[in-house]
Structure 1
Amino acid sequence: MKRHVFIFGLVGGLLIAILQYTEYRFVIIEHSVELYSALVAILFAAFGIWLGLRITRSRETIRETVVVKEVLIPAEAPAQGQTPFAPNALRQQTLGITARELEILTLIARGLSNREIATQLFVSENTVKTHCARTFDKLGAARRTQAVLRGKELGLLP
């Protein structure tokens, strides 16, 4: 009985080996072009991934870090005997300029851009643009420099 099991196992193994060999011949010989094409595609894909990673890593090392520091400049203290500047409230009311518009005009006079003003006042840049346009209309100015000059002439700015 053990002998029959052994022979049956040996024949089964031999049949499996023959099937594997014929399958190998069929796959390798009959489909060699497809296998070659797949191997080339895999190699090119691996090369492309490697090259892409190498290029992006080199760009990351080239990037510079920009550090912006804000320097606060103290306001000039009025000289002895002088009073601090106060905007002409009567002119402000006559022109219809609001406190926020005057604040934005003051920041324009300091040379800040709309984006910087928006950041400082915690409003959107479009809000600053709207306030600027209304202030320019009320002062009869077409540009920022004209608005600042007109504000100084009317006593709204120091």
Structure 2
Amino acid sequence: MLKKPVLHNAIMKRHVLIFGLVGGLLIATLQYTEYRFVIIEHSFELYGALVAILFAAFGIWLGLKITRNRETGRREIVRETVVVKEVLVPAGPFAPDTTRQQALGITPRELEILTLIARGLSNREIATQLFVSENTVKTHCSRTFDKLGAARRTQAVQRGKELGLLP
């Protein structure tokens, strides 16, 4: 009587082992067919995605590396180039020296454009603000620079301040 349950357990173990092996083989076959379908049939898309991921990762890494170097470089430059200047501001409203303006032959429009240049506006911004073309602004700038003996915008502003035309 003892042999039957032991024999029954051995057969059960053998059946479980066989069913496990067959199930494992079926799962392996399904995995292989899925692999074959996904990898081989869609290899072009997968390679494209892989290349895109690699380039994105490289771009992010490079961007971080470049911005870190710029930030540290800027901090060092700012520390080296800090200049403190005392600027005297007139107490009342500024009025340009009209006698010098007339002596130099600077028109009110040219003075207005020179004032906007001193505020840091570009030719395009000045043209938009005054409702004129950019070429008109360039012409006025050129004539004003000639009258002040300046070659650049910064020189014209400096000269205008020296002559009392700008605040």
- TM-score under structure 2 normalisation? 0.46
Q: Which of the two has greater helix per residue?
A: 2
Identity of aligned residues (%): 90
- Compute the RMSD of aligned alpha carbons: 8.9
Question: CA distance change for structure 1 residues 59 and 87 in 2, over 3 Å: closer, same or farther?
Answer: closer
1:148 CA displacement: 0.1
1:90 CA displacement: 0.3
1:144 CA displacement: 0.1
Q: Deviations over 1:76-135 (max 9, x none)?
A: xx75xxxx1100000000000000000000000000000000000000000000000000
Question: CA distance change for structure 1 residues 113 and 33 in 2, over 3 Å: closer, same or farther?
Answer: closer
Number of residue pairs the alignment of both structures matches: 150
CA distance in 1, matches of 2:145, 2:63: 52
Between 1:16-25 and 1:127-136, the stretch displaced more is: 16-25
CA distance in 2, matches of 1:135, 1:9: 95
Between 1:103-112 and 1:28-37, the stretch displaced more is: 28-37
For structure 1, which runs of at least 5 residues remain unmatched after alignment?
none
1:14 CA displacement: 62
Question: What is the SS of the residue equivalent to 2:80?
Answer: coil
Question: CA distance change for structure 1 residues 4 and 68 in 2, over 3 Å: closer, same or farther?
Answer: farther
- TM-score under structure 1 normalisation? 0.49
CA distance in 1, matches of 2:120, 2:41: 78
CA distance in 2, matches of 1:45, 1:102: 53
Q: Deviations over 1:34-82 (max 9, x none)?
A: 9999999999999999999999999999999999999999xxxx75xxx
Question: CA distance change for structure 1 residues 141 and 53 in 2, over 3 Å: closer, same or farther?
Answer: closer
- 1:133 matched to which residue of 2? 142
Question: CA distance change for structure 1 residues 69 and 120 in 2, over 3 Å: closer, same or farther?
Answer: farther
CA distance in 1, matches of 2:118, 2:51: 67
Question: What is the SS of the residue equivalent to 1:63?
Answer: helix
For structure 2, which runs of at least 5 residues remain unmatched after alignment?
1-11, 73-77
- 1:22 matched to which residue of 2? 33
Question: CA distance change for structure 1 residues 153 and 63 in 2, over 3 Å: closer, same or farther?
Answer: closer
